[in-house]
Amino acid sequence: STGVTLGDAPRLLHLIRSEPFGVQSALAVLAVDKYEAAAALYHCVCDDVACVCTKVATVNLARAGRRHRALYLAEADSAPRRFDEYRCAEKIDMVRLRKVLQQLEETRARRRQALAGACEGSESRKQLERCAEVEKTAQQLAYHLAEVVPDETGCVVYEVEYEHRDASFRGRLFAKGETVESAASKYPRTATLQGMPSDLRGPLVGAFAHDIDCENSECRLVCSLATQLGMTDVVPSFFEYRDRRARYLAEIAKDHGVDTSMAKRLFNIVVSGGQYQTWLRKAECGRIEVDVWKKFSFRVAAELRALRDQVLGHPRFAWAATEKARLISQGKSEAEAQQLLIPRVLQACENTVLGIIQRSFFDSDYEVRAKVFDGLVVEPRRGAPGVAAAMRAAETACRRLGWDVVLAEKPLRGMQNVTMKAVSDANAIISDSPSSQYIGTAYSTRVYIF
């Protein structure tokens, strides 16, 4: 009906038509083979005589399964793009993935022997378990992408879906992927850019991607929420911490003898419902309490409870009742469920903000490769503005909608050839092992023979 003559071309599976300004335009989906194991997407512009069709993508439907569906995107700038908050086109450098697996295989026997002799709960055991987690995730990813044909750069692009796991369908979005069980993590990981150990992202996407993060996310979300609802006087400690965060972190680190990354966790733990003593245990500071920070933690928790009581009574957050009912059905008491609701509200706000940022980067001509809770992994398309300009545009979009967001780029781009910390830590342990010299010699001989 559109005047398309396919001749010996693959069988037409689906046709999407539109007629802007009197010119017929269509997206044609055709089977690449007789088993319909793959399909091609053509953008066709037609007049009364003929159609001009341009191939814009091919999709592998059978080899990789639903969660790892191959997607080969055309480089043409005119290729149609579709924004979808619940899907990302992940991209993996398969050449470097194979190199990672090869390097880990070379030390596997020594790492396993060292792990067998490591004391339960020791730092060396934790480091060896983290390295094993990296290896298991890389193996799982390589297995599920084994039959996906890479492009000329050695990369594969495939679709990953995201889902809510809360009863209200408003909280964080989690990537759906193959589960990776590990002793190093409290919860199972997935073989996705979101779910993999952060160390592994460097070699797999560091050659082309940027890691965009929301700075001081939870504090800024609370301040924004209080401002939107006219409740700024309820949480003065949050505004003080937001505006003088660097000084706070320096003093917390100095007074407790910890680094800045651990100092940051104090505020996050208290906002998530923990206590000052909870942070002390994680920071391994013993029972040495610093009174000024104990009082600071108490003020933050008290202000957050006051804000919670106001927020949960607001019609905008009536959905939280559904989440509360679910928590009680899981065995939580009324008080416990009530305490857990404000983190759920903040996660919903976080997801709202991340959606705004994702849309802004999409509009700035970036491919969003993964959503990582309060951040994104992005890759610029041809002609896209610099990452700093794209971040400023996203911040402006957020502020326009009432969210005070500050974005920063975390180390990722250019990290493709940097040894992963989990690997270097494990290598240091096995090199200090008394039997490492013997095992290394035997392994080297075996590699030489084969």
pLDDT of residue 288: 76
How many CA atoms within 13 Å lie on the side-chain side of 247?
5
The mean per-residue pLDDT over the stretch 421-442 comes to 68
- Per-residue pLDDT at 264 exceeds 70: yes
Q: Which of 94-98, 112-116, 410-414 has the lowest mean pLDDT?
A: 112-116
pLDDT of residue 320: 87
Place of tokens 């020594």: 110
- In DSSP notation, 379-430 reads EEPTTPPPHHHHHHHHHHHHHHTT----EEEES-TT-TTSPPHHHHHHHHHH
Q: Say if CB 118 and CB 128 are below 8 A apart.
A: yes
pLDDT, one tens digit per residue, over 169-188 is 888 999 999 888 877 777 78
- In DSSP notation, 320-386 reads HHHHHHHHHHTT--HHHHHHHHHHHHHHHHHHHHHHHHHHHHHHTTEEEEEE-SSEEEEEEPTTPPP
How many CA atoms within 13 Å lie on the side-chain side of 208?
20
Q: Strand, coil or helix: what is 268?
A: helix
CA distance 325 to 317: 14
pLDDT of residue 217: 93
Query: How does strand 24-31 pair with strand 38-46?
Result: antiparallel
Q: Which of 15-29, 124-138, 365-379 has the lowest mean pLDDT?
A: 15-29
Token code pair at residue 217: 């996310």
- In DSSP notation, 84-105 reads -TTEEEEEEEHHHHHHHHHHHH
Token code pair at residue 297: 């933690």
Strands (E) located in 75-185: 87-93, 155-164, 173-175, 179-180
Token code pair at residue 111: 């790492």
Token code pair at residue 167: 């009863």
pLDDT, one tens digit per residue, over 389-428 is 999 999 999 999 999 999 999 999 999 999 999 999 999 9
Q: Strand, coil or helix: what is 46?
A: strand
CA distance 348 to 302: 21
Provide CB contacts within 8 A for 66, sequence distance 6+. Answer: none
- Per-residue pLDDT at 5 exceeds 70: no
Q: Say if CB 239 and CB 250 are below 8 A apart.
A: no
Considering Cα of 255, then 257, then 262, then 265, what sign does the dihedral take? negative
Instruction: Output the average pLDDT for the chain.
Output: 83
Q: Which helix (H) or strand (E) holds 28?
A: strand 24-31
pLDDT of residue 437: 42
CA distance 248 to 254: 10
Q: Which of 3-7, 98-102, 356-360, 372-376 has the lowest mean pLDDT?
A: 3-7
Please, which pLDDT band fits residue 39 given cuts at 50, 70 and 90? low
- Among 396, 196, 389, 229, CA closest to 306: 229
pLDDT of residue 82: 82
pLDDT of residue 286: 62
CA distance 190 to 176: 7
Most confident of 60-69, 158-167, 184-193, 233-242: 233-242
Q: Say if CB 140 and CB 180 are below 8 A apart.
A: yes
pLDDT, one tens digit per residue, over 220-249 is 999 999 999 999 999 999 999 999 999 999
Give the bridge partners for 156, in sequence order. Answer: 92
